[in-house]
Amino acid sequence: MATKTTTAQWIDANKASFLPPVCNKMLHGDGQLKVFYVGGPNVRKDFHLEEGEEVFYQRQGDINVVTLQNGEFKDIKIKEGEIFLLPGKIPHSPQRYQDTTGMVIERERVKDQEYDCLRYYVGETTNILWERWFYCVDLGSQLGPVIKDFFDSEEHRTNQPGLGSFMCPAYFEPDPVRQTEEPFSLQQWITKHRSELDSEGSKRLFDLTYQTDVLALGEGKLKAHNPRAETFLWQIEGSCEVEVAGELHTLEADSTLLVPADAVFTSSRPEGGVTISVTMDPLTKSRAFGHLNQ
């Protein structure tokens, strides 16, 4: 069954979850897509590494996502109202501050194939101090015990790699050449491309070197179906009617709908309607990592 949410009401009802020590709340977590909101403050030293991608949208306030790219640390500052797509295989450490709220979208990991890593570095260097690989089911609940293990470790006490630094070989290495793009204002992007949305009906926010399909849908009707992946529909402007399995859902601005995997659905927008569609099909992973096989 498709699940509709009015975002502002949901955030207000769950505002206590965005404060320390929890700082996050799942909007959708039981299926293939993981959609959650994160508050702050939450300043951390650990870095997260995964093969999938992450969509960031900063609803309130600014954050900084520290990344490791081409052997150097790089700050990705995401301002209020900006969207950013983090490629896979890039170590990253989101730094969130007080009175901030942001949405993050990622996908479930392929069983017995995809593993996440939580990694710490020696001081300000890129030398690995300590890491743990694990199959991620619920990142929010799994990170806590791993972080506790690090703070209880001899490596944390000495700030030097030791016998407990590595428990298994790495499942993959960080992408050595991929460069992130800069975050950009979602509203300004829509304004710039509005004529294309009206005439063509849809436009990608990010090109096909990414795994994730993030599309802006404009005036008109679109029929879609993905046998493996859920689709997250987020109404930005105007309204949209979505028919899923004979059931009609009306989306107003700032409401969302999660469409189940393998569901055929039709979305219709009158003039002025703009919907963001997010799909993360694991089979599109190869198009993002083709350069690693050359």
In angstroms, how far is the first alpha carbon of the chain from the final one? 42
**Is 219 labeled as ligand-binding?**
no
Strand, helix or coil for residue 165: coil
Residue 41 preceded by cis peptide, ω within 30: yes
**Is 96 labeled as ligand-binding?**
yes
Q: 276 vs 21, 53, 83, 216, CA distance in Å?
A: 31, 17, 11, 5
**Is 48 labeled as ligand-binding?**
yes
**Is 178 labeled as ligand-binding?**
no
**Is 109 labeled as ligand-binding?**
no
2 CA to centre of own chain: 20
Nearest residue to 235 via CA among 62, 4, 73, 78? 4
**Is 194 labeled as ligand-binding?**
no
State how far the Cα of 263 lies from the Cα of 227, in Å rounded to an integer.
7
Query: Which residues lie closer than 8 Å to 117 by C-beta, 6 or more apart?
Result: 48, 49, 50, 131, 132, 133, 134, 170, 171
| Widest CA span in the chain | 63
Q: Which residues are annotated as a binding site for Fe cation?
A: 48, 54, 92
Q: Which residues are annotated as a binding site?
A: 44, 48, 54, 92, 96, 106
Q: Which residues are annotated as a binding site for O2?
A: 44
Q: Which residues are annotated as a binding site for substrate?
A: 54, 96, 106
